[in-house]
Amino acid sequence: MNLDNILIFTSLIFITNAITGLYKKKYIYSFLFFILTISSIVVHCDYSNHKAIIIDKIIICFILFYGFYIFLKNFKINILLSLIVFSTFLSCIYLYCYGFIIKKYCFNEDTNISRNYHMLMHFFSCIGNHALLFIH
């Protein structure tokens, strides 16, 4: 697979979070992930689309805040799922935020390396949010 397209394809995994949200009757979560899927695909198709980048980051923030609310409301119920949610969240923060500070991981100068870490971040966030949806 061409690495130029891989982040477009890994963005498609967020639709599984939208579907799981529908299944679990978490309609706000489902809607947010549906919008995230679209915005992420648009961003990874055209990195110069600044409006899409802003929308993408806003949706991610909404998901973080809503997910944090669900987590705090239910984290004592299932320790294993809570651990998965917490560890995948910290992994994403490490890869993206700390990577930004040190210019590594998702912000590596080598675009192949940065894409691989960004792809990994897509998978971590997908897994963590699935665990969050099944936490109660």
pLDDT digits (tens, 9 = 90+) for 14-49: 999 999 999 999 999 999 999 999 999 999 999 899
**In angstroms, how far is the first alpha carbon of the chain from the final one?**
37
Report whether 80 contacts 127 (CB < 8 A).
no
pLDDT at position 47 is 87
Residues 6+ apart with CB under 8 A from 114: 105, 106, 107, 108
Annotated domain spans of the chain: 3-133
pLDDT at position 2 is 53
Q: Which of 135 and 103 is assigned the larger pLDDT?
A: 103
Report whether 49 contacts 41 (CB < 8 A).
no
